[in-house]
């Protein structure tokens, strides 16, 4: 008749206390690291997707096959402007503005897409055109004039 020492020892089976202690030390560190980078909570911006650049006074333009609308843009004063461009054509377009040391363009826009480019404009005249192959020659060009100076 033997009592069962096996079940006894199983109950008392000592946990590997040392390695557990190490884990408990590591855990708070991981929690602190997670808490440090809390990313949500500031959704007051409401989902605008500007890429960080400060937006300027909006100037709305449309790209069609093959023209800029409007063809001439007249601005009353120098300043920061954001050209908000929609591709209303049937093929890819973009808008480039060039002049007075500035040469900036939107992303290439698929039909129906829109994009924007923010530029600091001084008084003077700027060229507007679609930089995609051959489009400028087909009529996708215009002029932007900033008054004053
Ligand atoms: Cu184009």
Is 115 contained in some domain? yes
Is 119 contained in some domain? yes
Cα 88 to ligand 1 centre (Å): 10
Cα 41 to ligand 1 centre (Å): 41
Per-residue pLDDT band at 15 (split at 50, 70, 90): low
State how far the Cα of 30 lies from the Cα of 50, in Å rounded to an integer.
33
Is 47 contained in some domain? no
Is 14 contained in some domain? no
- pLDDT of 18 strictly over 80: no
Is 72 contained in some domain? yes
Instruction: Answer left, alpha or beta for residue 94, where phi above 0 means left and psi between -120 and 50 means alpha.
Output: beta
Q: Domain limits at 72? A: 57-146
Specify the number of domains making up the chain: 1
Instruction: Provide the 8-state DSSP code for 95.
Output: -
Is 104 contained in some domain? yes
Cα 75 to ligand 1 centre (Å): 23
Backbone angles phi, psi at 69, to 5 degrees: -130, 120
Is 67 contained in some domain? yes
State how far the Cα of 137 lies from the Cα of 61, in Å rounded to an integer.
19
Cα 81 to ligand 1 centre (Å): 21
- pLDDT of 42 strictly over 70: no
Cα 110 to ligand 1 centre (Å): 10
pLDDT tens-place string over residues 77-120: 999 999 999 999 999 999 999 999 999 999 999 999 999 999 99
Cα 64 to ligand 1 centre (Å): 8
Is 49 contained in some domain? no
Residue pair 79/106 in contact (Cβ under 8 Å)? The answer is: no
The CATH number assigned to the domain holding 131 equals 2.60.40.420
């Amino acid at each position: 008749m033997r009592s069962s020492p096996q079940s006894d020892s199983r109950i008392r089976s000592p946990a590997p206390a040392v390695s557990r202690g190490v884990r408990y030390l590591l855990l708070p560190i991981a929690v602190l690291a997670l808490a440090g980078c809390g990313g949500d909570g500031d959704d007051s911006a409401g989902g605008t997707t500007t890429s960080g650049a400060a937006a300027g006074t909006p100037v709305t333009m449309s790209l069609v096959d093959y023209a800029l609308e409007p063809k001439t843009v007249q601005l009353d004063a120098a300043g920061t402007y954001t050209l908000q461009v929609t591709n209303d054509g049937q093929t890819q377009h973009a808008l480039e503005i060039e002049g007075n040391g500035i040469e900036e363009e939107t992303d290439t826009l698929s039909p129906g897409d829109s994009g924007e480019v923010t530029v600091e404009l001084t008084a003077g005249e700027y060229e507007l055109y679609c930089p995609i192959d051959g489009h400028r020659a087909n009529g996708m060009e215009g002029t932007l004039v900033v008054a004053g100076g």
